Structure 1
Amino acid sequence: MGTLVGHVAPGFGFLVIGLWHLLNHIKLHVQNPKSYHSLPWFPSTKIRYLELFLIMVGCTMSIAMELVIGPDRHQPFDIDGTIPPNHLHNFEHSFISMTFLVYAAFAILLDKFVPKVQYELTQLLGGFAFGQQLLLFHLHSADHMGVEGQYHMLLQILILVSFITTFMSIGYSKSFIVGFIRSISIFFQGLWLMVMGFMLWTPSLIPKGCFLNLEEGHHVVGCHGDEALERAKSLVNIQFSWYLIWVTIFAMSLYLAMHKIYEGRIEYQPLTKYDQDIEAQNKAIKLDESKSFLSMEKAFAPVEMEGSVTSFR
């Protein structure tokens, strides 16, 4: 990150994954409203783990861009083995990618070897990844002040929504709205990263009264005076609000369009392993409840009165 490509490339990845989740969540809910379960990832038709493979490839490329590719990044350490100040942000960005790489790798392993609890554990890993992302952006070593800081503050709000809804999906796996909001937040997160890349590193798009300045090896936006800075921050807020409106319109229109397409074509697909496990657990619970109820009936059954009456005689 810290460049146009460094924001646009990962932003495009988040945007594609968010859109993929949005389409699949809507389709799954429309076709199976009664048996809907929020999934952390969606298998594709030909390559089951295509989504997870793409995440792993994207994260690996991101780590390489931060630590290997680019000027002076082939040697991210000083001669004495310490990390120089101008490379701290590169390590922070790479750790975000590493966490998502771990998420995707374990999602595949859990699906292969522990299918009964894969969804809960995968959601947990996803929550940890978004938590790591939020933490590192909030405690960033780079001085995210001014215009760039305003963009990053709004980005943290989107990450926070992804973080909360991912953990909520563990306990509310049947809630469509939780999965729907999570997908929108990931999509919006990617869109906003791309917007940041273009707006912060394209000279013609820099707000009036501001300029690009080279600091600690990368360009940042500076402004001439407080008035120009406050105006630029306000423009960022307006821009975020504008995109929020359009993302909302897009998501709702997509839901209505897909509902119209799949209306009357409800497919009752065979139960997945997860659904079978849940159904077996529910049957076991009902059986235990019925047994306990019968034992209570026997325990509190009315005493035979004839014997009691004769004894008193």
Structure 2
Amino acid sequence: LVPLSLSPRTKQPIRIKEFVKRKNMGTLVGHVAPGFGFFVIGLWHLLNHIKLHAINPNSYKSLPWFPTSRLKYTELFLIMAGSSMSVAMELFIGPNRHQPFDPDGTIPSYHLRNFEHSNISMTFFVYAAFALILDRVGPKAQHGLTQLLGALAFSQQLLLFHLHSTDHMGVEGQYHWLLQLVIFVSLLTTLMGIGNPKSFLISFVRSLSISFQGVWLMVMGVMLWTPEFIPKDCYMNLEDGHQVVRCRGAESLERAKSLVNIEFSWYLIGVTIFAMLLYLALIKFYGEKDEYESLAKFEDHEEETDEDVEAQKKSKVNESKSFIYLGKGSASMDMER
């Protein structure tokens, strides 16, 4: 096994096998897994909002979550399952002793970030659980309360990433700072959606921001914890039980941060292009389908109208014939008299 670096604190080499096995939020898997979840949920919302708006542009009303045809609460169940797995990974599976506390019952400093990440997951679990309960009960304020719970989850996420125990001055801190911008957009659009449920643009931006959160989390996991992608003059270092990217000087650090900013810009452009192409494709598909259905209904209506006209003509002819017949009958009766 080849050591990746030597920690100045522990004087222990970080080995590749140890690197691969770490699966908490400070590793590749710990970022890619939740990132994929955010990406799927955001894309699911984006598809459904575009479809809903394409079919009903005049009567569009956003939904905080979307049911599926087979199992209505699939989305909420997936959020609760993913959140539960994240909490279990952070607090029980990831730690060496399979629990996050010291022998004296206190929280060690190197497990603070585990509690921070698990709190985010627990908040999303609360959102999904009460969204399901509210749908079952069906109160009048269901839409607003569900959106408020979503806003609370994003607020918790933004707060904990902003006050993260991880070093904000390094390369990872730059990734986190840019992530906070995307989370803020998700929070803002969720709050705006409470009072504007008929605004398609608010729902569109909200869904796109959730999906972009997932993309950026996955990018963060790959770029920060894959040795081949670490910026030049930077290296992996083991600090307080977590692997951190460190640079050899101020110039190297600034260069690494600039690369992160450029990377963020590229992905932002790419996600925007993808969203617009998806919108145009779905609008064309569902718009043509809706237009075809409207044309078919119009033709059916015309056929029904033609049939009604023909029926009216026939009834008039029959009435006229019966009138003539009655006239002839009355005339013959008069002649007999």
User: What band does the TM-score fall into relative to the shorter chain?
Assistant: 0.7 to 0.9
Q: Which residue of 2 aligns with 1:168?
A: 192
Is the Cα–Cα contact under 8 Å of residues 40 and 211 in structure 2 kept in the other structure? yes
**What is the aligned counterpart of 2:242 among 215, 218, 226?**
218
Distance across 2 between alignment mates of 1:145 and 1:225 = 13
Work out whether 1:27 is the aligned partner of 2:51: yes
Shift in CA distance, 159/179, structure 1 to aligned 2, threshold 3 Å? same
Distance across 2 between alignment mates of 1:256 and 1:143 = 42
Q: For 1:58-207, list aligned pairs within 5 A.
A: 58-72=82-96, 74-207=98-231
Is the Cα–Cα contact under 8 Å of residues 166 and 173 in structure 2 kept in the other structure? no
Unmatched tracts of structure 2, length 5 or more: 1-24, 294-337
Task: Report how far residue 130 of structure 1 moved.
Answer: 0.1
Unmatched tracts of structure 1, length 5 or more: 269-313
> So what's the TM-score if we normalise by structure 1?
0.84
Is the Cα–Cα contact under 8 Å of residues 11 and 189 in structure 1 kept in the other structure? yes
Distance across 2 between alignment mates of 1:237 and 1:185 = 17
Work out whether 1:53 is the aligned partner of 2:51: no
Distance across 1 between alignment mates of 2:106 and 2:265 = 42
**What is the aligned counterpart of 1:12 among 23, 36, 44?**
36
> So what's the TM-score if we normalise by structure 2?
0.78
Task: Report how far residue 81 of structure 1 moved.
Answer: 1.5
Task: Report how far residue 232 of structure 1 moved.
Answer: 0.5
Q: Deviations over 1:26-74 (max 9, x none)?
A: 0000001111111110000110000000000000000001001024251
Task: Report how far residue 141 of structure 1 moved.
Answer: 1.5
Is the Cα–Cα contact under 8 Å of residues 67 and 73 in structure 1 kept in the other structure? no
Shift in CA distance, 257/73, structure 1 to aligned 2, threshold 3 Å? farther
Higher gyration radius (CA): 2
Shift in CA distance, 73/131, structure 1 to aligned 2, threshold 3 Å? farther
Task: Report how far residue 78 of structure 1 moved.
Answer: 1.5
Structure 1 vs Structure 2 CA RMSD? 1.2
Distance across 1 between alignment mates of 2:265 and 2:290 = 36
SS in 2 for 1:33: coil
Q: For 1:223-302, list aligned pairs within 5 A.
A: 223-266=247-290
Is the Cα–Cα contact under 8 Å of residues 120 and 170 in structure 1 kept in the other structure? yes
- Runs of 4+ aligned structure 1 residues displaced above 2 Å come to 264-268
Shift in CA distance, 71/91, structure 1 to aligned 2, threshold 3 Å? closer
Q: Which residue of 2 aligns with 1:304?
A: none
Distance across 2 between alignment mates of 1:142 and 1:244 = 25
Is the Cα–Cα contact under 8 Å of residues 168 and 178 in structure 1 kept in the other structure? yes
Distance across 1 between alignment mates of 2:120 and 2:94 = 19
Distance across 2 between alignment mates of 1:236 and 1:248 = 18
Shift in CA distance, 105/48, structure 1 to aligned 2, threshold 3 Å? same
